[in-house]
Structure formats: C-alpha cells, structure tokens
Amino acid sequence: MALVVQKYGGTSVASIEKIRRVAEHIIATKKKKNDVIAVVSAMAGETDRLVGLAKEVMDPPDEREFDVITSSGEQVSSGLVAMTIKSLGEDAISFQGHQIRITTDNIYSKAKIKSIDDRNVRVALGEKKAVVIAGFQGVDEDGNLTTLGRGGSDLTAVALAAVMGADACELYKDDVDGVYTTDPGVCPDARKLSQISYDEMLEMASLGSKVLQARAVEFAKKFKVPIHVKSTPRPEDEGTWVLDEEKVMKSMEEVVVSGVSYDRDQAKITVTQVPDQPGIAAKLFSSLADENVVVDMIVQNVSTEGFTDLTFTVPKSDFKKSIELSEKMARELGAKQVLSDNLISKISLVGVGMKTHSGVASRMFRALANEEINIMMISTSEIKISCVLEEKDTETAVRTLHDAFNLGKTDE
Ligand code: ADP
Ligand code: ASP
Ligand code: MG
C-alpha cells in the first residue's frame, strides 16, 4: 500500500465537470491499492475575486480579515471534491487547514508552516476514505485563520507529503503538463523538461515562473520531497520531476542554461545625488525593510564629486509605499530627487551549468542588443543572470533568449 499526495490547482477544479474528472482520478488511484490525500486549490479565479471583494471594502485590507476571506475559496472546492467522490460511490472526507492543525506563524497572507497534526488524516485513511484537504489554509497558535501566500496549495501538498512520509507528491495542472524551459504561454517553442533540480526550479519560481510556488520548492528541497508535476487531463503522461541536483540526469552535452523566467511584478526607484558617505545605504534600505518592503536588485553608480545615484527594484504592490519612504529619506539624507518607473520587467536565465561555464552573460547581452532591447540593470548569482528591461520588451526578450540558448523544441 503506497501513500500518494495529489494536488489539484484552480484550473483543474474550475467547474463541476472538471471536479468530476478529478474525483474519478482520485478513485482510480485509490483502486490501484493506494491511500490518497488530495489537496485542492480554490476554483480558478475565485481567490482573485475574493481579493477584489476585500479591497472594495478596505485598501489596503485589514490583514486578519483578509485571510478569513481569501481562505474560503478552498473550503468550497474541498467540499465539492469530497462530495463528488461520494456521489461516485467511494468514501471521502474533507478537512480544512485548522481541522488538521496546519499550525503557522501569525504573518497573515504569507504565513509559514510550523507543524501539522496528522491524526485525523491517518484515522480517515485507516477507514479507507479518500482524504481531501483545503490547500492554502493555516491557523496560528491563537486560532486565527492564516494563508500560505499565493500559490500556497503547492506548499500544503509538499508539507503533507513530508509529514506523512508519502511515497509520491504529484502536482496536477490543467493547462500545462509539466515544467517548461519557459512559460509556454509566451513562447510556443518552449520545451517540457523531464527533470529539473530543486535549485533551478527554486530560482525559476523566485524569478517569476508561476508554475510552482517558490516556498513550496524550498520546503521540498529542505525535506527531500521529490515533486512530480503532471497533467490533469492526461495523468498517464510523464510530466516533470523536481529532484536533488545529483539525481537529475543531464544529457550527454552538459546543459548550461535550463530556462528563462520573467517577472512583470517589479518597479524601479532611483534616488539621485545621494551624499556618498558611510551609512547612507543602510539608512535608506532600513527604512524600507522596517515597512516589510522586499528590495530585490540594487545598483549604486560610481561616485562623482562626493555624490552618487542609488537605483533599486521593489514589488509593484509596494511601489507607492516605497516612493513615499524614499522621498522622506531623500529629504533627510540631502539627496536631490526620487525618480520612479513601474513599466519594467525582469528577465532571467537560470541554469546550474553556469557555475562552470563562462560567456553566458555576454551571449545574453549580445542577443538582447541584436533586438535593440535596452538593459537597465543587471544582477548575477552562481546559477542565474537577471536583466531589468522595459516592460514592452518582455515577450521579445523571452523568445530571443530562449532561441539564443537553443532551448526550443527544434534543438532537442
Ligand atoms: P495551478 O493552478 O495548477 O497551480 P498555475 O496556474 O499556478 O497552475 O501554473 C500553471 C501556469 O504557469 C501555466 O498557465 C503557465 O502559463 C505558467 N508558467 C509560467 N512559467 C512556466 C514554466 N516554465 N513551465 C510551465 N508553465 C509555466
Ligand atoms: N487559491 C490560492 C491562490 O490562488 C492558492 C493556490 O491556488 O495555490 O493563490
Ligand atoms: Mg499554482
């Protein structure tokens, strides 16, 4: 008897008809002598709708009540999936996050899981029930409802697979059948990867590829949970494995770049003519950190006559707040002015092969230059190179780089 955790995303449970297909697949998996825990997201579009409702009432919304509202989408879908399984003659039971004590810290909207009490799940499995769990939900130690960040049902599934010692953790998608070299919605030439390492997947997810939640990949890496991304309409297809680097079989010729990610959710701020003195950057960035703004890239120009320009990027959702804070700091620090631009995007190349290969950056810059795409900022790490560009160039840049690094189907 194997234990299988299956997660079905919003598009897989978008209608009663699709829920029926999911229920049938859960039953089929169970009939192959498996215990099944199914984690479900809210029906497609529902979480966005709930976010919209909350913001109509209050913007920015009250943090506690926001999670009460947004976590409700998963309550409906989990009940519907469990009920559909029962209607098809198999026993099932749904649990909300608090009913299996998915205990988190109290950081609303992006709570971290501390522990899970799996007793109810084990009892239900012992009674031969299919267990359906509402993804995305948690509860803090005082009993307040919390949520695990957008895409957080991925994390629910990975955490349950780790706690329960599951034999498989399968994440089912409706509109893609695995992880691709880049978003197939932007680049039709994108190629499905049969395997990808945790580190590469983590970079791709953190750099904007919304196919998996970055925190879920981080958790999977930490607790060594292999993730199998699969297709809901074609569950028999192989999909993509996300694994330890040592377990990923590279092709004969070592792959240098594995994928291209893009992130349109960034905005850029420049504080001009900042006095070039010790402690100035610390003051500016502390004021942003104190307000929970996560600064991503930072570039400081070469100092001229004792002054310098500081440019950095922040998430678009924190853009207004960041401009206000920067203007306040600019006055305090005696800087000249604050310039801002939210029509930017970040394009990144990801690949563990970059650790040992040189020339990737120059090839990237040349490919962008050939398309007359201007690079505004650059940042690198061992396994990625990111460039900030004008937002209008996003799709051309993705396709150009995908092509320049021979990632497409035709070059297999
Ligand atoms: P789910 O609802 O099942 O969690 P998501 O909508 O979160 O599924 O993720 C699937 C989407 O991710 C696809 O629609 C696809 O356009 C997008 N995507 C972005 N980057 C990639 C990539 N590298 N590989 C596959 N899909 C990607
Ligand atoms: N429903 C949540 C969201 O849309 C969680 C998830 O789908 O994983 O972000
Ligand atoms: Mg998702």
- Tens of pLDDT, residue by residue over 326-344, are 999 999 999 999 999 999 9
Q: Which two tokens stand for residue 136?
A: 């995305």
What radius of gyration do the chain's Cα atoms show?
23
Residue nearest to atom 1 of ligand 1 (CA): 9
For the beta carbon of residue 45, count every other beta carbon within 10 angstroms: 12
Which pLDDT belongs to residue 354? Answer: 87
Nearest atom in ligand 2 to the alpha carbon of residue 156 is 8
CB 180 within 8 A of CB 160: no
CB 113 within 8 A of CB 159: yes
The amino acid that residue 347 corresponds to is I
User: Is the CB–ligand 2 distance for residue 41 below 6 Å?
Assistant: yes
The amino acid that residue 43 corresponds to is M
Which pLDDT belongs to residue 260? Answer: 97
Nearest atom in ligand 2 to the alpha carbon of residue 152 is 8
Q: What is the 3-state secondary structure (H, E, C) of the chain?
A: CEEEEEEECHHHHCCHHHHHHHHHHHHHHHHCCEEEEEEECCCCCHHHHHHHHHHHHCCCCCHHHHHHHHCHHHHHHHHHHHHHHHHCCCCEEEECHHHHCCEECCCCCCCCEEECCCHHHHHHHHCCCEEEEECCEEEECCCCEEECCCCCHHHHHHHHHHHHCCCEEEEEECCCCCCECCCCCCCCCCCECCEEEHHHHHHHHHCCCCCCCHHHHHHHHHCCCCEEEEECCCCCCCCEEEECHHHCCCCCCCCCCCEEEEECCEEEEEEEEEECCCCHHHHHHHHHHHCCCCCCCEEECCCECCEEEEEEEEEHHHHHHHHHHHHHHHHHHCCCEEEEECCEEEEEEECHHHHCCCCHHHHHHHHHHHCCCCCCEEEEECCEEEEEEEHHHHHHHHHHHHHHCCCCHHHC
Mean pLDDT confidence for 2-30: 98
Residue nearest to atom 4 of ligand 2 (CA): 47
Distance (Å) from CA 174 to ligand 1 centroid: 9
User: Which of 9-23, 347-361, 372-386, 392-406 is predicted with the least confidence, judged by mean pLDDT?
Assistant: 347-361
Q: Does 251 score more than 80 pLDDT?
A: no
Residue nearest to atom 4 of ligand 1 (CA): 9
Nearest atom in ligand 2 to the alpha carbon of residue 136 is 5
Across-strand partners of 140?
104
User: Is the CB–ligand 2 distance for residue 138 below 6 Å?
Assistant: no
Which pLDDT belongs to residue 270? Answer: 97
Across-strand partners of 300?
310
Distance (Å) from CA 210 to ligand 3 centroid: 7
Distance (Å) from CA 117 to ligand 2 centroid: 22
Asked if residue 184 has a cis previous peptide bond (ω within 30° of 0), the answer is no
CA distances from 62 to 45, 67, 320, 368 (A): 21, 9, 18, 43
Mean pLDDT of the chain: 94
CA distances from 308 to 144, 269, 273, 276, 305 (A): 46, 14, 5, 6, 8
Q: Which two tokens stand for residue 71?
A: 């976590």
Nearest atom in ligand 2 to the alpha carbon of residue 74 is 1
Q: What distance separates the 2 farthest-apart alpha carbons in the chain?
A: 79
User: Is the CB–ligand 1 distance for residue 208 below 6 Å?
Assistant: no
Dist CA 143 CA 104 (whole Å)? 10
Dist CA 292 CA 314 (whole Å)? 11
User: Minimum-distance ligand to the CA of 13?
Assistant: 1
Residue nearest to atom 9 of ligand 1 (CA): 211
Which pLDDT belongs to residue 252? Answer: 41
User: Is the CB–ligand 2 distance for residue 259 below 6 Å?
Assistant: no
User: Is the CB–ligand 2 distance for residue 157 below 6 Å?
Assistant: no
Q: Does 411 score more than 60 pLDDT?
A: no
Nearest atom in ligand 2 to the alpha carbon of residue 9 is 7
CB 224 within 8 A of CB 249: no
Nearest atom in ligand 2 to the alpha carbon of residue 149 is 9
Q: For 214, how many CA atoms within 13 A lie in the half-sphere containing its CB?
A: 12
Confidence of residue 21 (pLDDT cuts 50, 70, 90): very high
Query: What pTM was computed for the model?
Result: 0.92
Nearest atom in ligand 1 to the alpha carbon of residue 154 is 4
Dist CA 278 CA 60 (whole Å)? 35
Confidence of residue 250 (pLDDT cuts 50, 70, 90): low
User: Is the CB–ligand 1 distance for residue 179 below 6 Å?
Assistant: yes
User: Minimum-distance ligand to the CA of 9?
Assistant: 1
User: Minimum-distance ligand to the CA of 177?
Assistant: 1
User: Is the CB–ligand 2 distance for residue 97 below 6 Å?
Assistant: no
User: Which of 88-97, 354-363, 379-388 is predicted with the least confidence, judged by mean pLDDT?
Assistant: 354-363
> What phi and psi, each to the nearest 5 degrees, are found at residue 148?
-100, 20
> What phi and psi, each to the nearest 5 degrees, are found at residue 141?
-65, -20
As residues whose CB is below 5 A from the ion ligand 3, the structure lists 9, 151
